[in-house]
Each structure stands twice: as C-alpha cells, then as structure tokens.
Amino acid sequence: MAGERGGNLHPMPRHGLFVSSSGEAKVAHWIRFERQGQTAFGTLEGETITVHDGDMFEGPRPTAETVPLADVKVLTPCVPSKMICLWNNFHALAERLNVPEPPEPLYFLKSPSAFLAHGETIRRPKAYSGNVVYEGELGIVIGRRCSNVGEDEAGDYIFGYTCINDVTAADIIPKDPTFAQWARAKSYDTFGVFGPVIATGLDPSGLSVRTVLDGKERQNYPVGDMIFQPHRLVSLLSRDMTLLPGDVVACGTSIGVGAMRGASNAIEVSIEGIGTLRNDFVQQVPFRYAEGDPEPMRVCVVGAGAIGGLMATRLAGAGHPVTVIDQGAHLAAIRDNGLKLIWHDGIEHTARVKAVESAAEAGPQDLVILAVKAHFLDQVVREIDAMLEPATMIMTVQNGLPWWYFQKHGGRHDGEKLKSLDPSGILSRNIDPDRVIGCVVYPAAHVAAPGVIHHAEGDRFPIGELDGRETERAKRVHDVLVSAGLKSRVLADIRSEIWLKAWGNLCFNPISALTHATLVEICQFAETRALAADMMREAQNVAEKLGIKFRHTIEKRIEGAEGVGAHKTSMLQDVELGRSLETEALVGSILELAKLTETPAPSIQAVYACVKLLNKVMVAEGGGVRLSKAA
C-alpha cells in the first residue's frame, strides 16, 4: 500500500496492492481478511499484516501476531450497513453531460448483498443482456455514528478512504420511462466492489482516481474536481440519515465510464495513497437467453445488398434455412456461386442460399428481414402476404426512422403516420404492427461485386418490440442472430437506439453525398464537423420533445464516426452508382418531426434541400456522380 501521499509506490505483483517504501507511518492501511476459516483485521505494511484485536473503529489493539499477506484471503475492508452512491458530483462530468450542477447531493443506496472484495469475480446477471459498465470512485468510510453534523466537524466522523468500482447494469436505469431504476441497476450481486484497504490519516483532496480496463487507462480524474467535497458531503448526508461505523459513501465518478465487453475483463481502480482494487468481470459472450443453439429459423432476407447479404450469409452459415429475394446480376451471381461475404479480417464466408425474385417463390417464413432501402419498401410489401404465417415476424433494418415510428408508441402521437416515409399508406395497410420487430444496424459494408459483400467494421444488431416488451419471440430472434456470430440485445426502448443511429445518418450521409468525403474526412474538416454538430443538435431538440434520451454526447457520436475511418456512407455509394437516395428516411423524416414538434431546424432544412435537388438531377439524368482524377 502507499505511504503518505507523495511517497514512492511500487506494486506487489502477486496481489496488485500498493506498498510504500518511504517508511513513514502517518498513513495506516486497514485490512480485513480470512485465514483458516476465521475473520480478522489489522494494518498492512508492505506484505505483512499486523493483526489487531477489538473493533477497527473504536480502540483497536495491535497484537504481537503478524501474518503474510500471501497467506490470507482479502475481504471487504469493512461491512457497511449501507453504501450511499453519488451521481453528478464532478464538475467535468456535469459539463460533459451538459447537465446543471446539483444544489444538493444526488444519491441512491446500493444493497449490502452486492458487496464484493478485491480479487473476487464480478459476474453478469443471468437475466440481463445489456451493457455492464465500470465506474472508478473514491469511497469515504464512516468511523463513528453520525447524525446532523456540521461540515467543520464532519472530518471527526470519517475513518478513512477506500477504492470503489461502482459496477452498473446501465440499460436498466432508463428501462421504465416512469421510474429511473438506479438501485436495481447498481445492486446486482457482485456489483458493489470496494477495497482492498481503508487508508486513514490521508487527505484525498490532491489525489486522482485511475481506472484501467484490460491494461488500458480509461479514467484518470482529480478528486479535487468534486462538487461536494468529503466533509461537506458527510455533513449533508448526515442530515438525511444516520451514518453508522463502516458505512461507505461512494463519491461518484467522472469522465471515462465505459462498458466491459470481453468474456473476461481485468478491471483496476487505483488511488495513490490508498491502493489498487483489482477484479475480473466474467460473462458469457455472447449472451444467450436459451441454453444451447436455437432451433433453425426460416429466414427470408428481402434485398441481399450490403447489410441484407451480410445477414443472410452469417445466418445461413449458422444452419438456418435462408432465402434471399433480389434481382438482376446480383441475383444471378448468388444463384451461380452462392453469396460471398469477405469479413474485415479477410476471412471469406460463402453460403448457398435459396435465391428468388418474388415472395411467392420464397414461400412461408418464420422471419422476414426487410433489407431494401426505405424508398423501395412500398414495392416489396405488395406481395409480402405470400411469406406470412400467423406467427411470422417482420424485422426492419433500414437506415433512418421507420414508417412504424408512432405505431404502438403509447405517447401523445400514438398512431400518427409519417407521410415522408409512407406517403401512400401502403406500408401501414399491408404490415400489421404486431408482426414488426425493430432493428438497428451498426455494421458498415458494401457490395464489392455481384454476389460479393465486403464487410468494413461492426457486428451489432440490437432489436426491440415496438411497445418495449421483452417477449419470447424477441429473445428467440436475439439468440438466432447470436448463433450467426452477430451481436444483439433486446432493448426496452428501440426508438432511442434508432435515434442514436439516425443522429449520425442524418448528417454524415447527406454531407458525404454532397462533398464525396469519407466519414473521417468529414469529421476532421472543421467546417463540416461543425455543420454535422449543428444538425445533430437540432435533431436532438426534436427527439427530446418526443421523450428520447441520448446516452452519448454529440461529440462522442462524432468521434465514433471518425473512428470508422475512410468509409463511404451508403448515400455516397448510391450517388456514385447513380441510385436513388434515401433522402426522406434519413433527413426528410426528421424535418417532418421537427414540424410536428414545432422545432426549428435550419441546418437540416438547408442540407435536405441540397441533397433532394441532387437526387432529382441524378434521376432526371439517369446517372451518378463519381470523382475522377483530372488528366
């Protein structure tokens, strides 16, 4: 463990704790442990524990006995009656989230059954498939019964400080729109990680919290940036409830929180002067609702282009009977040679699928995936009944907002029709909303040649019922996608996820179509980056009036697009090939909602006008636009 702040620190390789070589004794490090079936406590110095008698918080007495750290099992350093956890307690995070700093502490309680010691394994809840995130934090440990104390005397009631990993099932918090489920999301077994010691005689104000995931630093922020510093915090909390010896206050986290996605993730929270809290987070990857492989599902992919072809190839490769509906040279190549998918790592997947021109030839299906561009849907659904049985599901994978957006919505606009997406009403008439499952497509791919799909990056296909229920059929579709080597989650709010994707499509697609720039070029050119941000800000204003909550900031969404690299958007690919553009699905529908919610959107309106004219000229001329080097 560390000596007083500023001492020389070196790691103990076997346990990942920190020790001091300074020899100074102002800071003590209290540790609880188990040895030979007995629980004990003491002070840790180097690799040696000096065993104590009595009560850690009231007159502990050193004994003559010492124990090597290597010979004990480390426990949580105390046994709290409660852990009080702060939200929005750092200036930098409040600024990043664009939320006001609170006038008083905002907090929730974490269940004692969640507590976990250093070195123990954090586990994913069996019934939860969403993101599990880490949050490195400073913890305050109370040493005396504390009620209604002033800020100037609060320090007398603080025993010391510890490291905390406030593990969170992030998707649970907003799952019910009527009630934010903080306690549930934070209190799953193993989610209350703290330790390995309590450092006493330490002033934490000049320290920093550092979080490392699988060897990469994810957080490094100063404790001094706290809105409510420890003494102020303890004083205010003691006015609300009695704090007992051993209670822990998690001071909240700052920028850098993220998900743990691997099958096994090494996560460390380090605070100089206290030590390093190290645990592994273990989960079944990929997560499945049912044990074993799912039963084969009859799947028809309507439109075997970039995304449809990718899905068809992976599903067929997993043993599901797949039919594709397409036309022309692409269909002929699939019939002759199969459907070839070249993954980003160069591995080729070739699938023999049933390739047809019509729904009648495809026949009845369990799942119909509509993978054509949004403006071709009205042609496709005219004969869709030929593929439908009573339980057949229809999954939409179009870019932009879907025509069914307000179907089974439940809000004030429930049942409202989007004229920009379904001008004739044929989609609403021919597709029962009870059949529909929404899907958001994150992979990037393109058709390299007839019958050949080239994958660029990404493999996520989150899905959700229109009314937010977690149904058995949605779970089955999830497991089918996972069986094909794709990532998926059943979401309680598929519309928020659609908006998150549409947020980027809204700006990056039309800007790329007009400029012929790739994603990274748009994001690294100051003027287009600013234009994209303006369009996203306008769209966010629209979405928030419809009850949508964005889990990312505009800057983070732009950074994500920049990270994709030199990828041509689907709209730019269409411009170069002379195909009609998804203008209404990607941009026009957002403007329709802007009018519905009476929200100004001048940047979106200007870009929409330009790209709509481009589409008109392309259609009139019967050709595309492609840049070529001047002679």
> Is 478 contained in some domain?
no
If residue 311 lies in a helix (H) or strand (E), which one and from where to where?
A: helix 306-317
Residue range 464-482: average pLDDT?
95
Pick from 417, 447, 462: which residue ends a domain?
462
Are both 296 and 336 inside the same structural domain? yes
> Is 517 contained in some domain?
yes
CATH assignment at residue 181: 3.90.850.10
Active-site residues, by number, are: 501
* Residue pLDDT, tens place only, 140-177: 999 999 999 999 999 999 999 999 999 999 989 988 88
- Percentage of residues of the chain with pLDDT beyond 70: 96
pTM of the model: 0.67
Are both 531 and 447 inside the same structural domain? no
Residue 627 structure tokens: 């840049």
Residue range 433-446: average pLDDT?
94
> Is 564 contained in some domain?
yes
Buried b (16+ CB within 10 A) or exposed e, 409-427: beeebeeebbebbbeeeeb
> Is 481 contained in some domain?
no
Are both 258 and 293 inside the same structural domain? no
> Is 150 contained in some domain?
yes
Residue 21 predicted with pLDDT over 60: no
Domains: count for the chain: 4
Residue 327 structure tokens: 């036309």
Are both 260 and 124 inside the same structural domain? yes
Q: Name every residue whose Cβ is closer than 8 Å to that of residue 42 and which is 6 or more positions away in sequence.
A: 30, 31, 33, 49, 50, 51, 52, 62, 67
* Residue pLDDT, tens place only, 55-105: 999 989 999 899 999 999 999 999 999 999 999 999 999 998 889 999 999
Residue 607 predicted with pLDDT over 60: yes
Interatomic CA distance for residues 225 and 448, integer angstroms:
51
Are both 68 and 97 inside the same structural domain? no
Residue type present at position 447: V
Are both 510 and 389 inside the same structural domain? no
> Is 316 contained in some domain?
yes
CB 253 within 8 A of CB 90: yes
What pLDDT sits at residue 285? 67
pLDDT tier for residue 6 given thresholds of 50, 70 and 90: very low
| Containing structural domain, residue 569 | 493-621
Are both 89 and 179 inside the same structural domain? yes
Are both 338 and 255 inside the same structural domain? no
* Residue pLDDT, tens place only, 536-576: 999 999 999 998 888 778 988 898 889 888 889 989 999 99
In a 3-state reduction of DSSP, which class is residue 89?
coil
Are both 46 and 106 inside the same structural domain? no
Pick from 282, 316, 338: which residue ends a domain?
282
Residue 453 predicted with pLDDT over 60: yes
Interatomic CA distance for residues 621 and 82, integer angstroms:
71
What pLDDT sits at residue 229? 97
